[in-house]
Homo-oligomer: A and B are copies of this chain.
């Protein structure tokens, strides 16, 4: 009877970091989604602290990955791979700023400016 091996918190943490970077999400953004501090995200990624069964699910959702992605050898389907490179650097930059705008009116103004810039291009 072989003893089944357990994926360690360290392994899971590395997988999280890897995936997070693919999606160009900062530790802070991920932390916000989880409702923890970004320092805590660092501890998860380092394997210093152990994720509980609820937070690993939240991370999986935030990173658009199935749970199995973090526990076993898993290759993301092609469609997700494309998604990772979907936005160009400029687009990512734009989004990073845009997401910090809380006021939806301000958001709309930015959208309108983008629209007009496109129109007169």
Is there an interface contact between A83 and B94, defined as CB atoms closer than 8 Å?
A: no
Copies of this chain, count? 2
Is there an interface contact between B94 and A106, defined as CB atoms closer than 8 Å?
A: no
A110 part of interface (Cβ distance < 8 Å): yes
A57 part of interface (Cβ distance < 8 Å): yes
Contacts of A78 in B (CB 8 A): 64, 79-80
Contacts of A108 in B (CB 8 A): 90
Is there an interface contact between B9 and A52, defined as CB atoms closer than 8 Å?
A: yes
Give the size category of A's interface with B. 35 or more
Roughly how many angstroms separate A100 CA and B101 CA in the complex, as a whole number? 22
Q: Give residues of chain A (61-79) contacting chain B, Cβ–Cβ below 8 Å.
A: 61, 64, 66-68, 70-71, 75, 78-79
Roughly how many angstroms separate A8 CA and B54 CA in the complex, as a whole number? 6
Closest Cβ neighbor of A98 among chain B residues? B114
Q: In the complex, which of the residues A7, A94, A100, A107 has the most CB atoms of chain B within 10 Å of its own CB atom?
A: A94
Q: What 9 new A-B contacts, CB under 8 Å, besides A4-B61, A6-B57?
A: A50-B52, A51-B52, A53-B56, A53-B71, A64-B83, A67-B71, A78-B79, A94-B110, A106-B117
